Amino acid sequence: MATCLSLTIQPSSAEFVLRGISVKPAGQPYSNEDRTWLVHDMKPGDVLEDAVYIVNDTEENKDIIIYPADATPSSDGGFALKQKIEEMTGVGSWIKLSQYEFSMKPREAVLVNVTIAVPNDPTLDVGEHSGAILAQEKPKEDAETQAQGGIILTTRVGARVYITLPGEVKKEVVMSSFNYTATKIRSYNIPLIGEKLSRLLKIPGVYAFSVGFENKGNTSNDVKIKLIAKDDLFHKNDSVTESSQKVGRETEALNNFEWKVPLFGKYSFSSSITYNDIANEEKTLESEVITLWIIPYDLIAGIVLILLAIIVIIVIRKIKYSGKNWLNHKVSSKETLQSIAEIYGIRWQKLAKVNKMSAPYALQVGSVILVPPRKKTLEKKSKK
């Protein structure tokens, strides 16, 4: 029966940070290196002994469940793992552990022995097979869990396992797509050219560029992806955005970039992916170029609306103070601009503007000014 070793972890300083549960591959005699993953070259029928530490890096007692799992591609082609309740048909079924459940004291590390037995099956695919050894807290089936409708949320941590079977190793990555779409609408905090107008005209505020690629090899590969944006007009806003991703064997992947749309310009976009081929030499693939004109139709429309509004106001004021259809009035003695305005029932300021008069608005006897066609105040007085 496999042995189980328990030891206590001491904090390295007074500012030690609690980090929860972790899984760490053991060192000697299993390996002379400080490993992050369990990586082995094996043949069908081989059996290998290894070990991992399950570490409780907290000040609490923990009930732990550990189990092996197969790797499975995530929605974007990255590394993901099957759930505990799913059937394991790959690396997850090749691994046996010395124990699967135990309790841990605060700051304790438990050594769990790992036996990896590759099936003696000549039809197994050559190249890399992957999985992981996972650990999580044992769910508490208490009244609180039942009150939540039986839903139990758990956090899994683990150490990846990579087993490579002998044969012809193939490393090849191909770029399958490069396209873009608008994900956000631009908006301004300015009257008449705000968010509503931008949404009406559907002016993009952010473009999302997606780069699709496929690992056609029989091993996982580290892929570097770039989005290159070139400013074709001013050559000042060129940018390169980089990302990296480990893609499993024979897996399709998708990497997304966000690019904030400037106010104006002409831009050319391209993408590239870089990976190591079978000779461990870098190989770079490049996409076709996408060219976009960035034109602020919403801003232009807003400026046009403002100009039209100004023109309409000017025309209305011009018509209002043009004196069209007004009559001539001969100024008699003792008449002033104010007295004449009162007679015709209008503001004296308007009377002055129509007659293009300025301060001190003095009238000369016998001069002629324009007045409205009806004497409103005088007619009311005559009726009384």
Residue 316 lies in a domain: no
Domain identity same for 123 and 191: no
pLDDT in tens, 29-39: 888 888 999 99
Distance CA 301, CA 304 (A): 5
Interval 91-112 mean pLDDT = 95
What string of DSSP letters covers 82-130?
Answer: --TTSPP-SHHHHEEES-SEEEE-TTEEEEEEEEEE----TTSPSEEEE
Pair 292, 263 in one domain: yes
Residue 84 lies in a domain: yes
State the number of CA atoms in the 13 A half-sphere of 162 facing the CB: 15
Query: What's the confidence (pLDDT) of residue 165?
Result: 94
Same domain, 291 and 375: no
Q: pLDDT at position 296, please?
A: 81
Clarify whether residues 9 and 94 are in a common domain: yes
DSSP code string of 18-38 = P-EEEEEE--TTT-SS--SSE
Claim: this prediction has a pTM higher than 0.75: no
Q: Are 81 and 158 in contact (CB under 8 A)?
A: yes
Specify whether 132 is located in the same domain as 181: no
Half-sphere exposure of 277 (CA within 13 A, CB side): 7
Quote the longest CA-to-CA distance of the chain.
129
Structure tokens at 200: 């009406």
Span of 28-37, 148-157, 341-350, 366-375 with lowest mean pLDDT: 148-157
Q: What pLDDT is stored for residue 77 in this prediction?
A: 76
Does residue 310 sit within a domain?
A: no
pLDDT of residue 187: 65
> What whole-number distance in Å separates Cα of residue 376 and Cα of residue 346?
9
**What confidence score (pLDDT) does residue 13 get?**
34
Cβ atoms of 273 and 211 within 8 Å: the answer is yes
Considering the domain architecture, whether residues 160 and 13 belong to the same structural domain is answered as: yes
Would you say residue 308 lies in a domain? Answer: no
pLDDT band at 11 (very low <50, low <70, confident <90, very high): very low
Q: Quick one: 155 and 178 in the same domain?
A: no
Q: Does a structural domain hold residue 352?
A: yes
- Does some domain include residue 305? no
Determine whether 104 is exposed, middle or buried from the number of CB atoms within 10 Å of its CB (0-12, 13-18, 19+). buried
Confidence (pLDDT) at 287: 95
Could you tell me if 187 and 135 lie in one domain?
no
Q: What is the pLDDT of residue 243?
A: 93
The size of the chain, in residues, is: 384
Task: Give the confidence band of 195 by pLDDT, cuts at 50, 70, 90.
Answer: low
Mean pLDDT of 314-322: 85
Residues 126-177 pLDDT 10s? 999 999 999 999 887 654 544 455 556 678 999 999 999 998 889 999 999 9
Q: What pLDDT digit, counting tens, does each position of 211-230 carry?
A: 999 999 999 899 999 999 99
Same domain, 58 and 158: yes
Judge if the upstream peptide bond of residue 373 is cis by omega within 30 degrees of 0: no
CB 56 within 8 Å of CB 103: no
3-state secondary structure of 57: strand
β-pair type (79-81, 62-73): antiparallel
Q: What is the pLDDT of residue 33?
A: 84
Residue 136 within any structural domain of the chain: yes
Name the nearest CA neighbour of 44 among 92, 131, 116: 116
Of 130, 165, 200, which marks where a domain is finished? 165
Helices and strands in the chain: count of H runs, count of E runs: 7, 21
Average pLDDT value for residue range 328-333 = 89
Query: Lowest-pLDDT range, 12-16, 55-59, 349-353?
Result: 12-16
pLDDT given for residue 186 in this prediction? 72
Q: In the predicted model, is pLDDT for residue 25 greater than 90?
A: yes
- Whether 201 and 344 map to the same domain: the answer is no
Percent residues over pLDDT 70 in the chain: 85
Q: Is the pLDDT of residue 291 over 50?
A: yes
Task: Tell me what the pLDDT averaged over the chain comes to.
Answer: 85
Of 165, 187, 204, the residue at which a domain comes to its end is 165
Mean pLDDT of 247-256: 90
Q: What is the DSSP letter of 56?
A: E
DSSP label at residue 351: H
- pLDDT attached to residue 320: 81
Cα 205 from Cα 213, distance rounded (Å): 26
Report the CATH number at residue 67.
2.60.40.10
| Residue 374 per-residue DSSP state | S
- Final residue before a domain boundary, out of 114, 145, 165: 165
Q: For residue 348, count CB atoms less than 10 angstroms from its CB and return exposed for 0-12, middle for 13-18, buried for 19 or more.
A: middle
Amino acid code (one letter) for 375? K
Looking at the structure, tell me whether residues 68 and 152 fall in a common domain: yes
Q: Is residue 253 part of a domain?
A: yes
What CATH number is given to the structural domain containing 347? 3.10.350.10
Query: Residue 201 belongs to what domain range?
Result: 173-300
Same domain, 151 and 185: no
Q: In total, how many domains does the chain have? A: 3
Selected residue with higher pLDDT from 168 and 377: 168
Positive or negative torsion for Cα 36, 37, 40, 45: positive
Which run of H or of E encompasses 50? strand 47-57
